Amino acid sequence: MEYKYTILFVDDVLKTIEMFEKAFKMKRKFVHDSKTYGELDTGSTSISFATFGMLPGGRDPNGYTNFCLSFVSNDVENDYQHAINNHAMSVEKPHVKPWGQTSCFVRVNGILVELCSKIS
């Protein structure tokens, strides 16, 4: 697996990306037409933004979960099952996102982790 994304959950993806572009002279890599997900071009590991609606279970009422670590996998289903078999807690089973990427979420010692396929 490859550590590929740190996803920060925000209210407004496009506004956040625009602020990072201006404040840090970064370039936009990708924004989905739905404006619920986007990435900055930051090298091999992306800083990504998604709306709270994309967060499994929605916004945490206590404000604890506003990010996740994401690992690209060549076999999301098997890697998900391996994680569950080795003490990770299932949050969301593998499914296909609107942009065609397979994704799932687990928690490891309270940390939200996404396993996902490459975005083509």
pTM of the model: 0.80
- Name 48's Cβ contacts closer than 8 Å, sequence gap at least 6: 5, 6, 7, 8, 37, 38, 39, 40, 70
Higher pLDDT, 15 or 55: 15
50 and 13 Cβ atoms separated by less than 8 Å: yes
Note the pLDDT tens digit of each residue in 49-89: 999 988 888 887 776 678 999 999 999 999 999 999 999 99
**Dmax of the chain from CA atoms?**
44
Task: Please report the domains of the chain, with CATH numbers, ordered by start residue.
Answer: 2-116 (3.10.180.10)
